[in-house]
Amino acid sequence: MSAGTLDVVNPYDLRAIGSVALSSWDQIDGYLATAKQLHENRKCWMPAYQRIDILKKAGDLMQGRFEELAMLIANEGGKPLMDARVEVARAIDGMNLCIKEIPNLAGKQIPMDLTQAGAGRIAFTQREPIGPVVAVSAFNHPLNLIVHQVAPAVATGCPVLVKPADDTPLSCKAFVDILIEAGLPEEWCRFVPCDIPTAEKLVTDPRVAFFSFIGSAKVGWMLRSKLAPGTRCALEHGGSAPVIIDATADIEAMIPSLAKGGFYHSGQVCVSVQRVLAPKGMAEDVAQLLSAAAEKLVVGNAIKEETEAGPLIRPREVDRVAQWVDEARSGGADVLCGGEKLGDTTYAPTVLLRPSQADKVSLQEIFGPVMCVYEYDTFDAAIQQANSLPFAFQASVYSKNLDVTMNALQQLDATAVMVNDHTAFRVDWMPFAGRRQSGYGTGGIGYTMHDMTQDKMAVIKL
């Protein structure tokens, strides 16, 4: 029995575009029981060639529905159609990455005769699926994030239950339906949109072997604290990505990259460029050039071809961003462009110069179309400011000086440091993770597949 209906709207004009039935706890309880049985009965495990065939067919189906999936992403998630198409391409590539990683789910020989006690034995390991996976996802990449969480479970042979973000369940449902159409038995992948109490009950159930979460740090760390003993997890939260500009950097050449990194999906990305640190004497020039780029962006409904910056996911997020910018303005920041609501669902791309380091825009993840430019006296001071927050994800440095670049690579507290590129760069086979409050574990297709498997060792006495 359904627990109600979740209505889905276009976040720009709030027009209804679809709905999904919410799953009740009784339904989910049955799904978990089946998932546990599938894992425990090893005769039910699908061999690798079957998993490869399913993933390949699913990727082909996605390719055949490329425009349909892109429009769905834009319509429910507010990501501009031009960027939604890139997301679909990445999602299809992710399916192929899973296929390529399956042969790497291999064990190794363990030498036994390193001491007399182990002599006369042969040992080797195998990788086995960890068990039922529960994936809870975010709205900002409604197809590709689901692929990153669900396809590795299919690839490794783990039954999976996936709860999409409330704002963007349609892309998730489309992907699950494609997997089933490609030959995956329905009991191996369940689509479970549900309310918050039911979701918490699902995540903390002792039958869950692995919990994958993408979303806010507050929710992720709270859920981790309530996991059943033995449940493994991976958490991907946000950050406040710093960019350090060195005096030798080519300012004009970097502006398109910086603007894309800051205003892509209206800043609703966990590694969006947020804090730009430039030397005194350069900061204002950098900010003015970023402002000129921001003012050219076409803001509107994401489903239109010309739109470059779409809505924020909910009107209350527009209100929050407006409050934060107003606070920065009151604190002395220069608002070089934007700084205003364009409507209930959109906020103008904004560049702030010299906001106070005590303001929310300097201390927390904005998750909106706002970039802050600061000036520094010394490179060490820039490093200190970049590292000053309790979360860390990706960072970047723009420089033509090798010594400066290597110093930044050594000193920046980040899981990845981009050189002469923006902080939001990512390919889906690289490790992707937050440090400290920004996350736990490592994302990326191959890394996730490793986390969803575990070693079993055989020791044979000759």
Burial of 380 (0-12, 13-18, 19+ CB in 10 A): exposed
CA angle centred on 83, ends 79 and 88, rounded to 5°:
100
Give 241-429's CATH code, choosing from 3.90.79.10, 3.40.309.10, 1.10.10.200, 1.10.10.10: 3.40.309.10
CA distance 77 to 141: 8
- Specify the DSSP class assigned to residue 345: S
Query: What pLDDT score was predicted for residue 315?
Result: 96
Dihedral over Cα of 408, 414, 420, 422: its sign: negative
Domain ranges across the chain: 5-237+438-461, 241-429
User: What is the β-pairing status of strands 121-129 and 109-110?
Assistant: antiparallel
Query: Which residue stretches of 264-372 are H helix?
Result: 283-295, 315-330, 360-363
Edge-to-edge strands, sheet with 109-110: 109-110, 121-129, 453-461
Query: What pLDDT score was predicted for residue 442?
Result: 85
Asked if residues 62 and 72 have their Cβ atoms less than 8 Å apart, the reply is no
Query: What pLDDT score was predicted for residue 441?
Result: 84
Share of the chain above pLDDT 70, in %: 100
Write down the CATH superfamily of domain 5-237+438-461. Aldehyde Dehydrogenase; Chain A, domain 1 (3.40.605.10)
CA distance 65 to 72: 11
> Hunting for tokens 């699926």 — which residue is that?
129
Query: What pLDDT score was predicted for residue 434?
Result: 82
Query: What pLDDT score was predicted for residue 130?
Result: 97
Asked if residues 173 and 20 have their Cβ atoms less than 8 Å apart, the reply is yes
| Encoded tokens for 254 | 């970097």
- Inter-CA distances, 330 with 85, 141, 335, Å: 39, 34, 10
How much of the chain is in helix, strand and coil states, percent to nearest 5? 40, 20, 35
Query: What pLDDT score was predicted for residue 216?
Result: 85
Give pLDDT tens digits for 383-437: 999 999 998 888 999 999 999 999 999 999 999 999 999 998 888 887 888 888 8
Per-residue pLDDT of the chain (462 residues; tens, 9 = 90+): 557 999 999 999 999 999 999 999 999 999 999 999 999 999 989 999 999 999 999 999 999 999 999 999 999 999 999 999 999 999 999 999 999 999 999 999 999 999 999 999 999 999 999 999 999 999 999 999 999 999 999 999 999 999 999 999 999 999 999 999 999 999 999 999 999 999 999 999 999 999 999 988 889 889 999 999 999 999 988 888 999 999 999 988 899 999 999 999 999 998 989 999 999 989 999 999 999 999 999 999 999 999 999 999 999 999 999 999 999 999 999 999 999 999 999 999 999 999 999 999 999 999 999 999 999 999 999 999 999 999 888 899 999 999 999 999 999 999 999 999 999 888 888 788 888 888 888 889 999 999 999 999 999 999
CA distance 73 to 302: 9
Query: What pLDDT score was predicted for residue 2?
Result: 59
